[in-house]
Amino acid sequence: MDTAGRTAGGPLLRISGLCKSFGGVQALRNVDLEVYPGEVHGLIGSNGAGKSTLIKILSGDIARDAGEIFLEGEPIAIHRPQDAYRLGFSFIHQELNLIPKFSIIENLTLGQKKASRLGFIDWKAVKREAKGAVERIGLSYPMDTPVEELSVADRWLVSIAHALMRRIKLISMDEPTASLSSEESERLFKVVRELTAEGVSVLYVSHRLDEILALCDGISVFKDGSCTLTTDTRDATRQSLVEAIVGGKTAESELRLLSDVDERPIVLETKDLNKGGKVVDVSLVLHGGEVLGLGGLVGSGRTELANLLFGIERPDSGRILLDGEVYEPKDSTEAMKRGVGLVPEERRSQGLILKDSVEFNLNLANLKAIRLAKLLFLMSGRASARLARSVIDRLVIKTPSIKTPVVSLSGGNQQKVVIGKWLSRKLKVFILDEPSRGVDVGARAEIHAKIRELAGEGTGIIVISSDNEELPRVCDTVVVMSEGRIVGTLRGAEITKEAILYKSFEHAAP
Amino acid sequence: MLQQGNRKTKRNARLLTISKFGTLIGMAIMILSFSIAVPAIFPTFRNMVNVANQATLSAIISGGLTVALIIGEMDLSIANVASFAGVLVTGLMVQSRWPVGLAIAAVVLVSAAIGIANGLIITKLKVNSVVATLGTGSIVVGLNYAYAQGVPIASGLPESFKQLAFGKVLGVPNNIAIMIVVLFVLWVFINHTEWGVQLRATGGNPSAARLSGIRVDRIKILGMSIASICASVTGILLASLIGSGTSAAADGYLMPAFAAVFLGSATLRDGDFHIVGTLVGVFFIGIGFNGLAIFGVPTFVQYFFRGGILVLAVGLSSVARSLATK
User: Which pLDDT score, from 0 to 100, does residue B188 have?
Assistant: 94
Q: Where are the alpha helices (DSSP H) in A11-151?
A: 51-58, 81-86, 104-108, 123-137
Domain count, chain B: 1
B10 in any annotated domain: no
Q: Which amino acid, one-letter code, is at A482?
A: S
Mutate to test the interface with A, among B9, B212, B270, B273 (most CBs of A within 10 A): B212
**Is residue B3's pLDDT more than 60?**
no
Q: Which carries the bigger pLDDT value, residue A247 or residue B238? A: B238
Residue A76 near residue A70 (C-beta atoms within 8 A): yes
Give the count of alpha carbons within 13 A of B266, CB side only.
Answer: 32
Q: How confident is the model at residue B324 (pLDDT cuts 50, 70, 90)?
A: low
Name the residue facing A365 among B192, B195, B212 (closest C-beta).
Answer: B212
User: Which pLDDT score, from 0 to 100, does residue A428 have?
Assistant: 94
**Dihedral sign from CA coordinates of B285, B286, B292, B298:** positive
**Is residue B176's pLDDT more than 50?**
yes
Residues A381 and A509 in one domain: no
CATH assignment of the domain containing A213: 3.40.50.300
Measured in degrees and rounded to the nearest 5, phi and psi for residue A90 equal: -135, 140
Residue A96 near residue A102 (C-beta atoms within 8 A): no
User: Which pLDDT score, from 0 to 100, does residue B170 have?
Assistant: 82
- List residues of chain B with CB under 8 Å from any CB of chain A: 188, 192-195, 197-198, 200-201, 204-205, 207-215, 270, 272, 321, 324-325
**Is residue A285's pLDDT more than 90?**
yes
User: Which pLDDT score, from 0 to 100, does residue B181 have?
Assistant: 95
- Torsion angle (degrees, nearest 10) of CA B102, B108, B109, B110: 110
The mean of the pLDDT values for chain B is 89
Question: For residue A50, what is the DSSP state?
Answer: S
**Is residue B166's pLDDT more than 90?**
no
B7 in any annotated domain: no
Residues 6+ apart with CB under 8 A from A241: A44, A209, A212, A213, A219, A221, A229
Residues A365 and A454 in one domain: no
User: Which pLDDT score, from 0 to 100, does residue B5 have?
Assistant: 40
User: Which pLDDT score, from 0 to 100, does residue A502 have?
Assistant: 83
The residue of chain A nearest to residue B211, with distances taken between CA atoms, is A332
Residues 6+ apart with CB under 8 A from A383: A369, A370, A371, A372
Rg over CA atoms, chain B: 20
Q: Which amino acid, one-letter code, is at B263?
A: L
From A111-125, A280-294, B160-174, the region with the lowest mean pLDDT: A111-125
Residues A163 and A242 in one domain: yes
Q: Beta A170-174 vs A201-205: how paired, if at all? A: parallel
Q: A350, B198: Cβ pair inside 8 Å?
A: no
Cα–Cα distance between A365 and B209 in angstroms, integer?
A: 9
User: Which pLDDT score, from 0 to 100, does residue A117 have?
Assistant: 65
Residues A417 and A439 in one domain: no
Name the residue facing B208 among A336, A351, A379 (closest C-beta).
Answer: A351
User: Which pLDDT score, from 0 to 100, does residue A253 have?
Assistant: 40
Interface predicted TM-score (ipTM): 0.80
Residue B68 near residue B75 (C-beta atoms within 8 A): yes
Q: Which amino acid, one-letter code, is at B275?
A: I
Q: A421, B212: Cβ pair inside 8 Å?
A: yes
Count of other CB atoms within 10 angstroms of residue B17: 10
Chain B residues with CB under 8 Å of A360 CB are 197, 200-201
Residues A359 and A463 in one domain: no
Residues A159 and A73 in one domain: yes
Domain membership of residue A193 as a residue range: 3-246
Residues A362 and A330 in one domain: no
Mutate to test the interface with B, among A330, A367, A403, A424 (most CBs of B within 10 A): A367
**Is residue A507's pLDDT more than 70?**
no
How many beta-carbon pairs below 8 A join chains A and B?
78
Domain membership of residue B235 as a residue range: 21-320
Instruction: Pick the closest to residue B89 from B98, B79, B80 (CA basis).
Output: B98
Name the residue facing A354 among B193, B209, B325 (closest C-beta).
Answer: B325
Q: Which carries the bigger pLDDT value, residue A229 or residue B233? A: B233
- Model confidence pLDDT, tens digit, residues B101-137: 999 999 999 999 999 999 999 999 999 999 999 999 9
Residues 6+ apart with CB under 8 A from B298: none
Question: Closest approach of chain B CAs to the CA of A138, in angstroms?
Answer: 42
**Which among A425, A441, A473 is the end of a domain?**
A425
- Torsion angle (degrees, nearest 10) of CA A453, A455, A458, A461: 150
A345 in any annotated domain: no
Chain A residues with CB under 8 Å of B200 CB are 353, 356, 360
Residue A234 near residue A204 (C-beta atoms within 8 A): no
Residue A265 near residue A288 (C-beta atoms within 8 A): yes
Q: How confident is the model at residue B325 (pLDDT cuts 50, 70, 90)?
A: low
Q: Which carries the bigger pLDDT value, residue A306 or residue A209? A: A306
Q: Beta A66-71 vs A13-22: how paired, if at all? A: antiparallel
**Which among A375, A390, A425 is the end of a domain?**
A425
**Dihedral sign from CA coordinates of A279, A283, A288, A294:** negative
Residues A223 and A128 in one domain: yes
User: Which pLDDT score, from 0 to 100, does residue A258 have?
Assistant: 63
Which CA distances in Å does A298 have to A464, A467, A480, A489, A501?
10, 10, 12, 18, 12
Question: Closest approach of chain A CAs to the CA of B203, in angstroms?
Answer: 9
A159 in any annotated domain: yes
Q: Left, alpha or beta for A280 (phi > 0: left; psi -120 to 50: alpha)?
A: beta
Residues A470 and A458 in one domain: yes
**Is residue A369's pLDDT more than 90?**
no
Name the residue facing A379 among B193, B321, B324 (closest C-beta).
Answer: B193
Q: How confident is the model at residue B11 (pLDDT cuts 50, 70, 90)?
A: low
Question: Closest approach of chain B CAs to the CA of A24, in angstroms?
Answer: 11
SS3 A261: coil
User: Which pLDDT score, from 0 to 100, does residue A101 have?
Assistant: 86
Q: A333, B192: Cβ pair inside 8 Å?
A: no
Beta strands in A168-236 (DSSP E): 170-174, 201-205, 218-223, 226-232
Assign 3-class secondary structure to A63-87.
Answer: CCCEEEEEECCEECCCCCHHHHHHC
Residues A263 and A287 in one domain: yes
Residue A471 near residue A464 (C-beta atoms within 8 A): no
**Which among A425, A443, A461 is the end of a domain?**
A425
Residues A242 and A255 in one domain: no
- Model confidence pLDDT, tens digit, residues A52-80: 889 999 998 888 989 999 999 999 999 88
Instruction: Pick the closest to residue A342 from A259, A419, A253 (CA basis).
Output: A419
Query: Exposed, middle or buried by CB within 10 Å (0-12, 13-18, 19+), for A262?
Result: exposed
Residues 6+ apart with CB under 8 A from A5: A36, A37, A38, A39, A217
Q: What is the mean pLDDT of residues B156-165?
A: 88
Q: What is the mean pLDDT of residues A80-87?
A: 88
Instruction: Pick the closest to residue A21 from A44, A43, A50 (CA basis).
Output: A50
Q: B188, A351: Cβ pair inside 8 Å?
A: no
User: Which pLDDT score, from 0 to 100, does residue A129 have?
Assistant: 83
CATH assignment of the domain containing B272: 1.10.3470
Domain count, chain A: 3
Question: Closest approach of chain A CAs to the CA of B300, in angstroms?
Answer: 40
The residue of chain A nearest to residue B269, with distances taken between CA atoms, is A355
Q: Which carries the bigger pLDDT value, residue B313 or residue B57? A: B57
Instruction: Tell me the longest C-alpha to C-alpha distance in chain B.
Output: 72
**Is residue A309's pLDDT more than 90?**
yes
Q: B192, A378: Cβ pair inside 8 Å?
A: yes
**Is residue A2's pLDDT more than 70?**
no
Q: Which amino acid, one-letter code, is at A347?
A: R
- Model confidence pLDDT, tens digit, residues A258-267: 667 778 899 9
A268 in any annotated domain: yes
B61 in any annotated domain: yes
B301 in any annotated domain: yes
Instruction: Pick the closest to residue B286 from B300, B307, B306 (CA basis).
Output: B306
B51 in any annotated domain: yes
Question: Closest approach of chain B CAs to the CA of A459, in angstroms?
Answer: 19
- Model confidence pLDDT, tens digit, residues B266-304: 777 777 899 999 999 999 999 998 998 888 889 898 889
Q: How confident is the model at residue B7 (pLDDT cuts 50, 70, 90)?
A: low
User: Which pLDDT score, from 0 to 100, does residue A8 have?
Assistant: 57
The count of residues in chain A is: 510
Cα–Cα distance between A467 and A457 in angstroms, integer?
A: 25
Tell me the pTM: 0.74
Q: Which carries the bigger pLDDT value, residue A91 or residue B6? A: A91
Residue A6 near residue A196 (C-beta atoms within 8 A): no
User: Which pLDDT score, from 0 to 100, does residue A436 have?
Assistant: 82
Residues 6+ apart with CB under 8 A from A501: A46, A242, A245, A246, A468
Query: Exposed, middle or buried by CB within 10 Å (0-12, 13-18, 19+), for B25?
Result: exposed
- Model confidence pLDDT, tens digit, residues A315-334: 999 999 999 999 999 999 99
Residues 6+ apart with CB under 8 A from A294: A302, A305, A306, A462, A463, A464, A465, A478, A479, A480, A481
Please state the separation of Cα B15 from the chain's center in Å. Answer: 27
Q: Left, alpha or beta for A314 (phi > 0: left; psi -120 to 50: alpha)?
A: beta
Residues A276 and A361 in one domain: no
Q: B212, A363: Cβ pair inside 8 Å?
A: no
